[in-house]
């Protein structure tokens, strides 16, 4: 496969690094461009991929193109794709709808829209993707293989992507906030910052891994830890008194609403 990458930020690097490590592409068959030339040069030097001079050149050299451009720069990027033949375009731009990408590229290309998240940087990403009007099952399999190189992926309808953005796209920030709060609480209880940080991070990572490897639901695993009138029970009662589940629901809804607003902009 000849792979193009437009936009050489952290997510573009994470995806390409995982793809190369999985052996899906050879470095000499990956062509990258960024409007900030230093970003593309740095990625080329780090990963051994080929830096080219324009968006149109990326498309000319490639069969599949990752669009890793921020939504604000999308219109200009699409206008620069040139008169290239049919390509598979995989977009990770939050809120940028498939119809906009298809129309902006004169309906020449097959389009798939993806919502990844930042744990892809360490090969633990969670991504969802939706097919555009011209994309086919072969395109879906290609997209899954690329996303699975940096974690987990699933296929959804585009209408679900605002919810995906709110849950898993923004989700790492919620987890980091929880860890920050746990660390602060541990320090308040007399732990050193280093010990509190390591215990909180490993606890969250271990709980997630236990859930993924278990056949039990999150609720059942929670009950397994909770003895009647014990320490965990006391903590959970405090969470319930403060309406923890409602707080999470409102936060995810706010993120989804903002994703919809961005899609209309």
All domains in the chain, ordered by first residue = 3-159 (3.40.50.720), 171-264 (1.10.3730.10)
Work out the mean pLDDT of the chain and round it to a whole number: 94
- pLDDT(62) > 80: yes
Confidence of residue 212 (pLDDT cuts 50, 70, 90): very high
- pLDDT(219) > 80: yes
Q: pLDDT for 156-204, tens place per residue?
A: 999 999 999 999 999 999 999 999 999 999 999 999 999 999 999 999 9
Strands (E), 57-205: 64-67, 88-91, 110-115, 125-131, 151-155
Q: Supply the DSSP string of 190-212, one letter for each residue.
A: T--HHHHHHHHHHHHHHHHHHHH
Q: What is the pLDDT of residue 262?
A: 83
- pLDDT(35) > 70: yes
Listed residue (134, 58, 142, 127) closest to 98, CA to CA: 134
Q: What are the tokens at 14? A: 């994470």
Q: What is the pLDDT of residue 249?
A: 98
Average pLDDT (75-93) is 84
- pLDDT(80) > 90: no
Name the maximum alpha-carbon separation found in the chain: 69
Helix (H) or strand (E) holding 217: none
- Nearest-angstrom CA–CA distance, 13 and 117: 13
Sheet holding 64-67, edge to edge: 50-51, 30-33, 3-6, 64-67, 88-91, 110-115, 125-131, 151-155
- Nearest-angstrom CA–CA distance, 2 and 80: 20
Q: What is the pLDDT of residue 83?
A: 66
Listed residue (83, 87, 93, 138) closest to 110, CA to CA: 87
């Amino acid at each position: 496969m000849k792979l193009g990458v437009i936009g050489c930020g952290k997510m573009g690097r994470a995806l390409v690094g995982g793809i190369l490590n999985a052996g899906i592409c050879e470095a000499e068959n990956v062509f990258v461009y960024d409007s900030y030339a230093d970003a593309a040069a740095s990625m080329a030097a780090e990963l051994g991929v080929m830096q080219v001079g324009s968006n149109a050149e990326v498309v000319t050299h490639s069969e599949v193109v990752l669009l890793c451009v921020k939504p604000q720069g999308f219109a200009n990027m699409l206008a620069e794709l040139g008169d290239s033949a049919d390509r598979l375009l995989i977009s990770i731009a939050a809120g940028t709808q498939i119809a906009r990408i298809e129309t902006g590229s004169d309906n020449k290309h097959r389009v798939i829209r993806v919502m990844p998240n930042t744990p892809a940087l360490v090969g633990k990403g969670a991504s969802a993707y939706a097919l555009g009007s011209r994309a086919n099952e072969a395109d879906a399999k290609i997209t899954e293989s690329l996303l699975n190189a940096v974690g987990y992926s699933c296929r959804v309808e585009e209408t679900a992507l605002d919810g995906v953005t709110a849950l898993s796209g923004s989700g790492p920030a919620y987890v980091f906030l929880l860890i920050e709060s746990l660390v602060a609480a541990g320090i308040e209880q007399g732990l050193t910052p280093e010990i509190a940080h390591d215990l909180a991070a490993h606890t969250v990572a271990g709980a997630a891994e236990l859930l993924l490897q278990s056949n039990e639901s999150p609720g059942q695993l929670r009950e397994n830890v909770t003895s009647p009138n014990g320490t965990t029970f006391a903590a959970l009662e405090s969470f319930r008194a403060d309406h923890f589940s409602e707080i999470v629901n409102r936060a995810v809804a706010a993120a989804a609403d903002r994703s919809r607003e961005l899609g209309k902009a």
